[in-house]
Homo-oligomer: A and B are copies of this chain.
Amino acid sequence: MSGHILALSGGVGGAKLAAGLCAVLPPERLTIAVNTGDDFEHLGLTICPDLDSVTYALAGLNDTTRGWGVADETWQAMEMIGRLGGPDWFNLGDRDLGLHLTRAMHLRDAKSLSEVTAMLTGNLGIAHKVVPMSDDPVRTQVQTDAGWLDFQHYFVREQCRPEVRGVRFDGAESAALAPGLAQALARPDLAAVVLCPSNPWLSVDPMLALPGMRENIAAPGVPVIAVSPLVGGTALKGPLAKLMAELGQPVSNLAIAQHYEGLLDHLVIDETDAADAADLRDTGLCVTVTQTVMRDAQDRERLAGEVLAFVGGVE
């Protein structure tokens, strides 16, 4: 296989496949564009949960036991904030805060989120290109019986308890693609777009909502391959299954394929959902059945290799 790969990633699950792609592709052949719809302003800092999950995973700094955040983390600042009556509902670790403080400093200095992300990932020794989906703020919000909730209020403060009636991406219609994302899409040697195993409604849709994004990805000649975030008919992590049900969708790979209709060429599903393959193929999709659960580096590299096999494999 030759050519450039554009991977679109949300947080933890997507970050695992992104790490696998980094292990099998040299830096010049991969761009990882990350959802920023979950970003929010908190304690005067711009928190970018998905960018940070990808950054920590690629730097080998992610906590594999807890499943999110930085390894060897402590929580002393947050404990003090709580003691002082400050907002402690969004748990930021001390090491993580070091990153947020540094990013906030550069953003105040009028650097773009793309520039800051390049600096932070570079300083952590990440050679591959990690870019936000946009340098303009896009904020995912979910509609509940109590009105529209900011994503982190729904996801962290309310622990995904409210029933979701709809999802919107505030600011998306006027947000420009980040330069690194636009450049990857415009490459004549773009060989494939990989949708990482992230929540289609909450993590991938914010990216697809950006002006030009869907048209560019759907353009003929560039195959789009998604790894389903469903395993055994449910999500490994996060509110995907609950959300699909609340949005009136069957919790199935077929519903995910239909959600990506017009975009998707190939869906990679977990071996526990092998029974879904026939129905998926009936819709005209290529389907790969494999182990999509990534427990370690070997799993991540193997899955990345299987994803790339669709576009000719890794040389």
- A→B interface (CB under 8 Å): 43-45, 70, 72-74, 76-81, 83-87, 93-99, 101-102, 104-105, 108, 119-120, 123-124
Contact = CB atoms under 8 A, between A and B. Distances in A.
Contacts of A76: 72-74, 76, 93-95, 98
Given A76-B76, A84-B119, 10 more contacts: A44-B45, A70-B80, A74-B94, A77-B95, A77-B97, A80-B99, A81-B102, A84-B99, A85-B119, A85-B123
A93 B77 CA distance: 8
B102 A86 contact: yes
B98 A81 contact: yes
Contacts of A85: 102, 119, 123
A99 to B, nearest CB: 6
A297 to B, nearest CB: 22
A74 to B, nearest CB: 5
A286 B43 CA distance: 50
How many copies the complex holds: the figure is 2
A78 B74 CA distance: 12
A64 to B, nearest CB: 18
Contact of A98 (B78, B96, B98, B120): B78
A94 B93 CA distance: 9
A251 to B, nearest CB: 39
Nearest to A120: B84
Nearest to A73: B76
Most buried by B among A78, A83, A119: A83
Interface of A: prevailing SS: helix
A44 B79 contact: no
A105 B74 contact: no
8 contacts: A43-B101, A43-B104, A44-B45, A44-B108, A77-B97, A77-B101, A79-B95, A80-B102
Contacts of A44: 44-45, 101, 104-105, 108
A93 to B, nearest CB: 8
A73 B83 CA distance: 15
A255 to B, nearest CB: 40
The 8 closest A-B pairs by CB, nearest first: A80-B98, A76-B94, A77-B98, A86-B102, A94-B94, A84-B102, A81-B98, A77-B97
